[in-house]
Structure 1
Amino acid sequence: MNNYNHEKITSVQNDRVKQWASLLDKKFRDRTGKFVIEGVHLLLEAIKASAPIETIVYDGERGIPPELQTDAADSSSFEWVETSIQVMAKCTGTDTPPPIFAVVGKLEWDESSLFRDNSLVVVLDGVRDPGNVGTIIRSADAVGADAVVLGKGCVDLYNPKTVRSTMGSLFHLPLIEADLTELLPAAKERGIKLIGTSLQATHTCYSYDWTAASWLLLGNESNGLSATVREQADEAVIIPMRGQAESLNVAMAGTVLLYEAMRQREFN
């Protein structure tokens, strides 16, 4: 621990603290190209993924969490700042501040991963809830999907609630923010099938063949896919329901569809 470059800042009025706290606001995240990750698990995932970590800030009263004092979490090359619980609360916006947070540069992913042979990609169109977006990213990571695309109208990928709900998966696969009016026609030109969901669909998700290059289109929680995206879809599928539930939420529906795609591709 001795070789860590430590500074101590305890005042919430400190300029650096104000800069970190401003990253709770999308406008400042966009302007600076930085965001905040909270807690030990996310920080360990970021270190493992060689994410562009700038500063690690921890609560001096609680000390550096033991998981970050091992060789596996080699964090000696980062700037460390010891601070107060008040600063932790101001910068993380949670009711119970975590013991540690870090300022990280936004991730850069290459769009070529979208067009791999046989790609399986999730495309989000106006999905607004941070928990839903985070859960979909985790499910896409779990099945080994090639990427998740966030179209306009989606919640910000770097919103603290979105980041928390990915549980670290945001460091594991390409997450690409794109204009769907340009991207979807480009995918179709390459022979990629665009699949939406519809209660009127003739295919169930189990009778559809997911083994070819497939992009799964998931729409807004209340209104589904926008008209422009729906028009681009090559096929619609329905998730059959035996019970009396009216529908599944978008994250659950996306997970069911992704797992069926993985079953057909890996376990057939």
Structure 2
Amino acid sequence: MEILSAQNPRVKEWAGLLEKKNRDKQGKYLIEGLHLVQEALEAQADVECVCYDTLGGIPAELQAAASAGLDVDWIGVSAAVIAKCSDTKSPQPVFAVVRKDRGRVAPLLDRERSLVVVLDGVQDPGNVGTIIRSADAVGADGVIVGAGCADIYGPKVLRATMGSLFHLPVVHSDLAEVLPQAKQRGIRLAGTSLQAAANCFAYDFTQPVWLLFGSEGSGLSPEVRGLMDDGLLIPMRGRAESLNVAMAASVLLYEAMRQRHFS
């Protein structure tokens, strides 16, 4: 199948997915570039269609997936169509439309010794994507995204995850509802704090713990801070005032992995 006109109704629908309101309305999102498309197909994400530059044909790396009989439309498109559906200045010759995964929080609550990252108003897309990538790297059980965060299906977040979005559960939830449930299950809620009692390297990350991270400017919201059990301090020997939220998340996640798997 080929679609060459950028004015085609289907192309307009795809291009609309570059905006959050249309992603929300359609329950779909766009991923750009060979790496993300490969990751989505390998993870058996709910891919609706893969569009490739008709001049170059289906990229060699995707040939096996194209002939695997998956329920995916493979559509040859023109450079004009690719440009219209891209968020970048020099688009790659392949993109895909994926249906959103309506993940559930319940399995994360039920997980034994669960290690989960909770985002509360983290607004920078690069930070949100990097935190998801770090959570994936250490084998965390999932990421819960609360209100006020950058859209996990936005192009910048997706690029920053480098495909990690497809490797672990990333679910939206009302934190005021889910965090008290976690506490009832004996899960500790820990977050960085300048008035912290515990040095993060002395903290017990082998227990079930959910790590809370707030907005770049003002930290955790008062409601979420009120639910936090343990404030953790990341010690610094140099003169930097602080770490950005993605760096702080990575430090704590790697310390959790060290204690759980390398001690």
TM-score, normalization by structure 1? 0.94
Whole-Å separation in 2 of the counterparts to 1:266 and 1:43: 31
Contact 2:108 2:142 in 1 (8 A): yes
Task: State yes or no: 1:100 paired with 2:94.
Answer: yes
Deviation at 1:109, TM superposition (A): 2.3
Partner of 2:85, secondary structure, is: helix
Corresponding letter in the other structure for 1:190? R
Deviation at 1:77, TM superposition (A): 4.1
Whole-Å separation in 1 of the counterparts to 2:69 and 2:228: 46
In structure 1, what is the equivalent of residue 9 of structure 2? Answer: 15
Unaligned runs of 5+ in 1: 1-6
Contact 1:67 1:73 in 2 (8 A): no
In structure 1, what is the equivalent of residue 137 of structure 2? Answer: 142
Tell me the alpha carbon deviations over residues 187-206 of structure 1, each in whole angstroms, 9 at most, x when there is no partner: 11111100011111121110
Q: Identify which of 55, 72, 75 aligns with 1:81.
A: 75
Whole-Å separation in 2 of the counterparts to 1:76 and 1:211: 40
Deviation at 1:55, TM superposition (A): 0.9
Tell me the alpha carbon deviations over residues 125-155 of structure 1, each in whole angstroms, 9 at most, x when there is no partner: 0001111111100110111101100000001
Whole-Å separation in 2 of the counterparts to 1:179 and 1:189: 16
Deviation at 1:156, TM superposition (A): 0.8
Whole-Å separation in 2 of the counterparts to 1:201 and 1:81: 54
Deviation at 1:94, TM superposition (A): 1.0
Corresponding letter in the other structure for 1:237? L
Higher mean displacement: 255-264 or 62-71: 62-71
Corresponding letter in the other structure for 1:134? G
In structure 2, what is the equivalent of residue 156 of structure 1? Answer: 151
Deviation at 1:110, TM superposition (A): 3.0
Task: State yes or no: 1:196 paired with 2:179.
Answer: no
Pairwise CA RMSD of aligned residues?
1.4
Unaligned runs of 5+ in 2: none
Task: State yes or no: 1:33 paired with 2:27.
Answer: yes
Q: Identify which of 233, 243, 247 aligns with 1:238.
A: 233
Higher mean displacement: 55-64 or 35-44: 55-64
Deviation at 1:76, TM superposition (A): 5.6
Query: Percent of aligned pairs with the same residue?
Result: 59
Deviation at 1:107, TM superposition (A): 1.2
In structure 2, what is the equivalent of residue 264 of structure 1? Answer: 259
Corresponding letter in the other structure for 1:51? A
Whole-Å separation in 1 of the counterparts to 2:237 and 2:66: 48
Task: State yes or no: 1:216 paired with 2:211.
Answer: yes
Whole-Å separation in 2 of the counterparts to 1:32 and 1:233: 35
Whole-Å separation in 2 of the counterparts to 1:33 and 1:112: 21
Q: Identify which of 126, 131, 156 aligns with 1:131.
A: 126
In structure 2, what is the equivalent of residue 166 of structure 1? Answer: 161
In structure 1, what is the equivalent of residue 181 of structure 2? Answer: 186
Partner of 2:35, secondary structure, is: helix
In structure 2, what is the equivalent of residue 4 of structure 1? Answer: none
Partner of 2:248, secondary structure, is: helix
Deviation at 1:75, TM superposition (A): 6.2
Q: Identify which of 36, 45, 57 aligns with 1:63.
A: 57
Distance 1:118 1:159, change over 3 A: same
Corresponding letter in the other structure for 1:266? H
Deviation at 1:10, TM superposition (A): 1.4
Tell me the alpha carbon deviations over residues 23-43 of structure 1, each in whole angstroms, 9 at most, x when there is no partner: 011111111111011111111
Whole-Å separation in 1 of the counterparts to 2:251 and 2:106: 26
Contact 2:138 2:253 in 1 (8 A): yes
Partner of 1:103, secondary structure, is: strand
